[in-house]
Amino acid sequence: MMAPRRVVVVLEAERLLSPKRAKDEDDAQADLGLGTKKKRSTTPLEELEAYFEKPEPMTTLVFVAGALDGNRRIVKLLRKHADCVDCGSLASPQEAAAWIRKRLEKDELSIDSKALALLLETTGLSLGRIRAEIEKLVLYASGESIITPNHVRDLVLPQSEPGEDFALGRAIWNNDAAGALREIAAQIDAGTQPPMILGQIRAAAIRLRPDTRVKKGLDLVFQADQAIKSSAGAPQYLLECLVVEICGK
């Protein structure tokens, strides 16, 4: 009010501009007055198209949308007249590195080049994943001036979970506590970070049967995660206790 300009933001605009087929599309068209039999001089959709052609000069209209169907007339018209900004993708590792460094400047932090390479190796070029991991790293490195490879190894888990048949999971599913302990020791010796091993145990726990065992396993994983983060004991020892409890030994 009383401002020389106004900004109107339309969230989830794909529901309007590219509604799903079948029922969802019928609902969207009904909202726009397209499904009625009564003739009209102009439909709301036509009015919107006319607005794209000649927008209100004192208003900035922002459509925030996911994927759009480029074959639709209204989408083509919008792209013709609007400034399109891609906020969800990065073209190259160099672009990702620039985004990360600029983001960290807000918290007066920098990132080691090796840590940056390790982070991108783990997250890929997914801006959503990078943003989430950076927010966690900023908190984790609070009080320090630089994010190091150790910070990344401790906190950032691989994007993909282990497959259907991995050694640690197989031992847990078979209630083989001794085998699970050997696998944890081997991974620790190979330099695998405890959070990554905990992720494998979680992946194994969600595939346990029956469901009561799944619940118990996930509860134990949560408790171990809290214990590791609060330094309640040596991480390897806590992981060993965890698999022994899950295996019921």
40-96 confidence digits (pLDDT tens): 567 888 888 999 999 999 999 999 887 788 888 999 999 999 998 877 677 788 989
For the chain, list residues with pLDDT below 70.
20-41, 88, 157-165, 249
Burial code (b: 16+ CB inside 10 Å, e: under 16) for 91-116 equals eeeeebbeebeebbeeeebebbeebb
Judge contact between 205 and 196, C-beta under 8 A: no
Among 176, 166, 165, 167, residue whose Cα is nearest residue 247: 176
pLDDT of 33:
52
pTM over 0.75: no
pLDDT of 100:
95
pLDDT of 244:
95
Is beta strand 59-63 parallel, antiparallel or unpaired with respect to 6-10? parallel
Partnered with residue 63 across adjacent β-strands are 10
Strands of 116-163, DSSP E:
146-147
pLDDT of 37:
55
